[in-house]
């Protein structure tokens, strides 16, 4: 907070222009500093050229701002053809007078030698001419490193770069300058020159992480203006280009709606104090076979029967299996899907990276526009990524659900059959609005099922541990377990009433205690 204040007090004047690159305007808190020069540094293959090109393309498409591409490396013809694969028709932009190339690629048509003093004013004059010709607001220079091969003296080049930089500032354009690093650990620029001319530095990385390539972007500095700190993952999407996923940058809001919706089970609604909140996120935790998928089925089926649009992301079972399960509990998912009230998306968690899972879920939600979404199960996703990555994914999903105001249901599988909590729970219990535990209860040589509403943010709820049974009609919630304690800890024992009251505080273990201090 202190830092925010300082930043805005010191330089109130720096404005930003939206890049139009998905996610970037969020992490940069508004886009590129207007009229400034931003250095975009990264190793070979870190997508510098794609990022920079997209800055121009989106400028034209979304904001009607023409752009200049100064190429030091490749001939314009090659750039045009490379970018077609991303769906960017540069030739068309050129025809419409929204785009101009300045070809500063190495001269290879004949011999070229150097003798005596020179300056880069030829380049400056051409850039100025191009800017004037199309009325450009945005300029990309890609990549400056190549200049060092063409002109030998780095000292002289440094002076000349200052001249180019100040010329561009005078022309009032916003510029991205790309520069190549040797590796992710080395200096930001190979020649240690470019960073002196740029007020702003952005780094692109392409690293290996658990057998998968992982791309990320980090804003290292924005002189005199605020930005989000840290690395943010991005992927390259067909027809879109760079898509940044603003994991962990989003501020988590709590459920704000007072509207209640049914969980699909009347008795469970009653335990929750009259239903779930319409924009809340609920976590269902339980061992395998305790009834998590049934809870999901009720939640989606209950919504779909009322004419809501419900979306399921299933990472553990096939569509056929899900439909079969549903019909054994009295829900005709096939019919509901046919009528458009339900959509089931099945995927293997291992198939794609974390970022692609997120984008996939987001895309499906954009296309289907559901009011209810369930993910069965989060644990399946957790297996294929690090704790940190998983937590970021859940936060991002949760934020996304809340942005759209949809009700979300996650399931999490406990490793032990009785009792126990999951790593998933420990990681994300504070993120979710409600937690419902499903547990096996062993009594006198018999396995029975228990259910309790552990947390219900913003509402009174029933705190009993109720027994439930499952049959062809679904879930039937019955009476609380009497004279039994230690259910959630996994070792129930019969007690008399007096003892039970004394033990109630410790009944829920660590999770319960933390939950109480949270709320």
Partner 1 sequence: MEHETQARLGMSESGDLSLKRFRFRLYVSRENSTADQAIKNLGKICHQLGLNICDVEIIDVYAQPNRAEIDRVIAIPTLIKSDPLPVIRIIGDLRDSQKVLETFGFSQEAQPG
Residues that bind partner 1 (CB under 8 A): 102-105, 107, 109-123, 125-126, 128-130, 150-151
- Closest separation in Å from C-beta 55 to partner 1: 23
Residues present in the chain in total? 519
Q: Which residues contact 491 (CB under 8 A, 6 or more apart)?
A: 418, 419
- Closest separation in Å from C-beta 83 to partner 1: 21
Supply 314's token pair.
């299933």
* Residue matched to tokens 């591409």: 69
* Residue matched to tokens 């100040």: 166
* Residue matched to tokens 């007020």: 199
**Which is closer to partner 1, CB of 109 or CB of 155?**
109
Helix (H) / strand (E) containing 429: none
- Closest separation in Å from C-beta 189 to partner 1: 20
Supply 274's token pair.
């009259």
Q: Kindly compute the dihedral angle of the four CA atoms of residues 21, 23, 24, 25, in this order, to the nearest 10 degrees.
A: 100
Look at residue 98 and give its three-state secondary structure: coil
- Closest separation in Å from C-beta 379 to partner 1: 58
Query: Do the Cβ atoms of 250 and 398 come closer than 8 Å?
Result: no
**Which is closer to partner 1, CB of 106 or CB of 230?**
106
- Closest separation in Å from C-beta 234 to partner 1: 33
**Which is closer to partner 1, CB of 94 or CB of 218?**
94
Q: Is 73 a catalytic residue?
A: yes
* Residue matched to tokens 């990309």: 140
Which of the residues 58, 73, 180, 194 is marked catalytic? 73
- Closest separation in Å from C-beta 96 to partner 1: 19
Q: Which residues contact 350 (CB under 8 A, 6 or more apart)?
A: 384
**Which is closer to partner 1, CB of 114 or CB of 318?**
114
Q: What is the DSSP letter of 506?
A: G
Which of the residues 58, 195, 316, 425 is marked catalytic? 316
**Which is closer to partner 1, CB of 45 or CB of 154?**
154
CA distance 284 to 377: 9
- Closest separation in Å from C-beta 56 to partner 1: 18
**Which is closer to partner 1, CB of 14 or CB of 165?**
165
- Closest separation in Å from C-beta 78 to partner 1: 15
Question: Using CA of residue 16, residue 17, residue 21, residue 23, what is the dihedral sign?
Answer: positive
Q: Kindly compute the dihedral angle of the four CA atoms of residues 186, 189, 191, 196, in this order, to the nearest 10 degrees.
A: -130
Supply 301's token pair.
């089926």
DSSP E strand stretches across 54-95? 66-71
Beta-strand relationship, 231-237 and 37-42: unpaired
Query: Long-range contacts: 475-479, Cβ < 8 Å, 24+?
Result: 475/265, 475/268, 475/291, 475/294, 475/295, 475/298, 475/329, 476/267, 477/265, 477/267, 477/268, 477/271, 477/451
**Which is closer to partner 1, CB of 125 or CB of 367?**
125
Q: Is 194 a catalytic residue?
A: no
C-alpha pair distances (Å), 423 with each of 387, 407, 414, 441: 9, 23, 8, 21
**Which is closer to partner 1, CB of 106 or CB of 480?**
106
- Name beta bridge partners: 409: 282, 374
Known catalytic residues? 73, 316
């Amino acid at each position: 907070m202190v830092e925010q204040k300082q930043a805005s007090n010191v330089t109130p004047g720096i404005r930003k222009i939206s890049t139009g690159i998905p996610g970037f305007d969020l992490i940069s808190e508004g886009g590129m500093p207007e009229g400034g020069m931003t250095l975009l540094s990264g190793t070979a293959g870190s997508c510098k050229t794609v990022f920079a090109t997209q800055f121009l393309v989106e400028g034209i498409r979304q904001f009607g701002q023409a752009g200049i591409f100064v190429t030091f490396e490749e001939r314009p013809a090659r750039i045009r053809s490379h970018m077609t694969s991303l769906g960017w028709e540069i030739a068309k932009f050129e025809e419409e007078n929204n785009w101009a190339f300045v070809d500063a690629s190495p001269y290879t048509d004949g011999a070229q030698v150097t003798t005596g003093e020179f300056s880069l004013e030829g380049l400056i004059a051409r850039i100025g001419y191009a800017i004037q010709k199309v009325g450009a607001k945005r300029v990309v220079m890609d990549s400056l490193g190549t200049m060092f091969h063409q002109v030998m003296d780095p000292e002289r080049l440094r002076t000349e770069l200052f001249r180019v930089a100040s010329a561009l500032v005078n022309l009032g354009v916003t510029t991205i300058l790309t520069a190549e690093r040797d590796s992710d650990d080395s200096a930001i620029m190979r020649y240690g020159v470019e960073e002196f001319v740029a007020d702003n530095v952005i780094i692109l990385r392409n690293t290996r992480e658990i057998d998968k390539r992982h791309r990320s972007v980090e804003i290292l500095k924005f002189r005199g203006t605020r930005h989000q700190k840290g690395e943010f993952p991005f992927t390259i999407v067909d027809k879109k280009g760079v898509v940044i996923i603003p994991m962990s940058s989003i501020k988590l809001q709590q459920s704000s709606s007072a509207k209640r919706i049914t969980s699909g089970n009347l008795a469970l609604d009653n335990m929750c104090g009259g239903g779930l909140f319409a924009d809340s996120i609920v976590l269902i935790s339980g061992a395998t076979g305790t009834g998590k998928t049934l809870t999901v089925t009720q939640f989606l089926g209950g919504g779909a029967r009322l004419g809501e649009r419900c979306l399921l992301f299933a990472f553990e079972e096939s569509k056929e299996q899900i439909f079969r399960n549903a019909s054994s509990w009295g829900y005709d998912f096939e019919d509901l899907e046919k009528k458009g009230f339900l959509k089931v998306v099945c995927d293997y968690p291992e198939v794609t990276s974390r970022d692609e899972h997120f984008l996939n879920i987001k895309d499906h939600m954009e296309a289907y526009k559901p009011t209810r979404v369930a993910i069965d199960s989060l644990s399946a996703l957790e297996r294929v990524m690090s704790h940190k990555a998983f937590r970021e994914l859940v936060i991002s999903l949760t934020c996304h659900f809340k942005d759209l105001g949809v009700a979300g249901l996650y399931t999490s599988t406990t490793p032990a059959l009785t009792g126990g909590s999951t790593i998933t729970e420990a990681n994300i219990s504070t993120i979710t609005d409600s937690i419902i535990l499903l547990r096996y209860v062993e009594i006198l040589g018999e396995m029975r099922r228990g259910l309790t509403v552990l947390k219900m943010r913003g509402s009174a709820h029933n705190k009993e541990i109720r027994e439930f049974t499952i049959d062809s009609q679904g879930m039937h919630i019955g009476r609380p377990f009497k004279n039994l304690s230690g259910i959630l800890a996994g070792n129930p024992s019969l007690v008399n009433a007096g003892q039970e009251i004394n033990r109630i505080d410790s009944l829920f273990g660590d999770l319960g205690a933390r939950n109480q201090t949270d709320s």
